[in-house]
């Protein structure tokens, strides 16, 4: 062992410190060949030494970048939220409109069904009220024309032919109207002394120009002519007239409106007369 006196660690010997510059704190330059981590750059500054410039990292740019990113994200999120809300409002509006339309259609369908059912029940009631049918009977010496008609119809005999002439009778629901070219009754019954061929001439012209049509139908066991369309002597009334011979006379059964067509054809099926 050397006989040199003990010196504290880090204190250079006198002969080594001669001619070498001194640094603050009385410490000497580190010896050559020492590792870099022993030179005071290990992240913790040595006592008495200034903070290394490598440790001072500016953060202003990072904060600015974070703020910009946050703003962009906020704007995008806001736009997405506004778009979603707009779509929601639009879809709700469409749904509400469609729902209202569906509700309106349902209400209309229900109202229509209720009205149709009410009309059906009313028609059934009217039909039931017609039964039992009453029987119409004409003069015995005019072939005793008979048929069945609804009991809800009233009968007015304008001329019973008891003193000769034409037989005329009118039938209508509830009230019978005075016969005329501008009045409508459910049924007109006429038995005339006019020859059959002469009487039907007024219909032939209407058939020829298309204002009436003619068909042959069995009535009272005979094949007779049934004319349908514009009634003679009127400009607007559409009806049905059945013409047939009874002995030496001509009978005509007429309805003044197609409204009574069903009752009219049912009535024709019940017609009877004596030849």
Do residues 217 and 200 make contact, with C-beta atoms less than 8 angstroms apart? no
What's the confidence (pLDDT) of residue 259? Answer: 95
What's the confidence (pLDDT) of residue 24? Answer: 44
Which SS3 state, helix, strand or coil, does residue 203 take? Answer: helix
Average pLDDT over residues 114-141: 85
More confident residue, 271 or 132: 271
Burial of residue 225, with CB atoms counted within 10 A of its CB: 0-12 exposed, 13-18 middle, 19 or more buried: middle
Average pLDDT over residues 132-142: 93
The CA distance from 7 to 10, in Å, is 9
What's the confidence (pLDDT) of residue 124? Answer: 74
More confident residue, 208 or 41: 208
Which residues sit opposite 128 in a β-bridge?
A: none
Q: What confidence tier does 221 reach under pLDDT thresholds 50, 70, 90?
A: very high
Residue 72, pLDDT > 90, answer no
Residue 111, pLDDT > 70, answer yes
Q: Is the dihedral of CA 76, 81, 87, 89 positive or negative?
A: negative
How far is CA 214 from its chain centroid? 43
More confident residue, 64 or 191: 191
The CA distance from 17 to 27, in Å, is 10
More confident residue, 111 or 128: 111
What's the confidence (pLDDT) of residue 59? Answer: 54
Residue 223, pLDDT > 90, answer yes
Q: What is the pLDDT of residues 245-269, one digit of tens each?
A: 999 999 999 999 999 999 999 999 9
How far is CA 147 from its chain centroid? 48
The CA distance from 275 to 259, in Å, is 31
Residue 18, pLDDT > 80, answer no
* Nearest of 243, 249, 254 to residue 274 by alpha carbon: 249
Residue 10, pLDDT > 90, answer no
Share of the chain above pLDDT 70, in %: 77
Share of the chain above pLDDT 90, in %: 47
Q: What is the pLDDT of residues 24-58, one digit of tens each?
A: 444 444 444 444 444 444 455 555 555 555 454 55
What's the confidence (pLDDT) of residue 14? Answer: 46
Average pLDDT over residues 228-255: 94
Note if the pTM is more than 0.85: no
Q: What confidence tier does 130 reach under pLDDT thresholds 50, 70, 90?
A: confident
Average pLDDT over residues 10-34: 45
What number of CA atoms fall less than 13 Å from residue 214's CA on the CB side?
A: 14
Q: What confidence tier does 9 reach under pLDDT thresholds 50, 70, 90?
A: very low
Provide φ and ψ at 184, rounded to 5°.
-120, 125
């Amino acid at each position: 062992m050397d006989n040199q006196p003990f010196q504290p660690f880090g204190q250079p010997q006198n002969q080594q410190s001669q001619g070498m510059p001194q640094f603050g704190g009385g410490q000497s330059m580190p010896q050559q060949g020492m590792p870099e981590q022993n030179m005071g750059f290990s992240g913790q500054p040595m006592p008495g030494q200034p903070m290394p410039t490598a440790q001072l990292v500016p953060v202003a740019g990072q904060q600015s970048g974070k703020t910009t990113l946050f703003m962009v994200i906020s704007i995008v999120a806001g736009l997405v939220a506004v778009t979603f809300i707009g779509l929601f409002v639009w879809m709700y509006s469409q749904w509400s409109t469609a729902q209202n339309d569906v509700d309106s259609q349902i209400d209309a369908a229900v109202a229509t069904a209720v009205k149709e059912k009410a009309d059906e029940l009313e028609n059934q009631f009217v039909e039931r009220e017609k039964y039992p049918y009453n029987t119409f009977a004409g003069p015995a010496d005019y072939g005793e024309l008979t048929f069945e008609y609804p009991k809800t119809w009233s009968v007015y005999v304008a001329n019973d032919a008891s003193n000769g002439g034409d037989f005329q009778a009118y039938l209508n629901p509830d009230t019978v109207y005075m016969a005329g070219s501008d009045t409508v009754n459910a049924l007109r019954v006429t038995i005339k002394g006019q020859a059959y061929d002469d009487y039907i001439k007024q219909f032939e012209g209407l058939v020829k120009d298309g204002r009436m049509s003619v068909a042959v139908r069995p009535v009272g066991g005979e094949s007779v002519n049934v004319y349908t369309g514009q009634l003679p002597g009127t400009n607007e009334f559409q009806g049905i007239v059945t013409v047939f011979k009874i002995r030496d006379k001509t009978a005509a059964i007429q309805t003044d409106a197609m409204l009574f067509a069903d009752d009219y054809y049912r009535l024709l099926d019940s017609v009877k007369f004596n030849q």
